[in-house]
């Protein structure tokens, strides 16, 4: 099982992490197992299995389903792996562009 931990750094990121963890707790799709836990100190632990299946066959035993998009932002993928990978790549690029825009405006790098 792959695990990611994050510490909250602001009320907004804490809310986002709690929402992600809440969605992940409900996010069981097909043969994918995703879980998230909010700890008392505001940290969130998210875990996922690493199996990629095709019908009844395990195609990949080391498939990464958790992706860190930015500091404090983790995405968990379930479903068609190609679709998950594309959404992850697109979101990573959008977050990088937003960080560049913020730096240009003098608003910090967001990271």
Known catalytic residues are 32
User: What is the C-alpha to C-alpha distance for residues 18 and 42, in angstroms, rounded to an integer?
Assistant: 9
Helices (H), the chain: 11-26, 81-105
Contact at 8 Å (CB) between 34 and 21? no
50 SS3 class: coil
Sequence-ordered list of residues with C-beta below 8 angstroms from that of 84, at least 6 positions apart, any chain: 65, 77, 78
98 Rama class: left (phi>0) / alpha (psi -120 to 50) / beta:
alpha
């Amino acid at each position: 099982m792959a695990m990611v931990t994050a510490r909250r750094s602001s009320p907004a990121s804490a809310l986002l992490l709690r929402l992600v963890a809440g969605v992940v707790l409900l996010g069981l799709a097909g043969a994918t197992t995703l879980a998230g836990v909010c700890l008392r100190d505001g940290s969130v632990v998210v875990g996922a299995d690493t199996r990629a299946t095709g019908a009844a066959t395990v195609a990949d035993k080391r498939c990464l389903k958790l992706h860190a998009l930015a500091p404090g932002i983790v995405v968990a993928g379930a479903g068609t792996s190609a679709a998950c990978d594309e959404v992850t790549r697109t979101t990573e690029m959008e977050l990088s562009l937003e960080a560049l825009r913020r730096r240009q405006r003098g608003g910090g790098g967001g990271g």
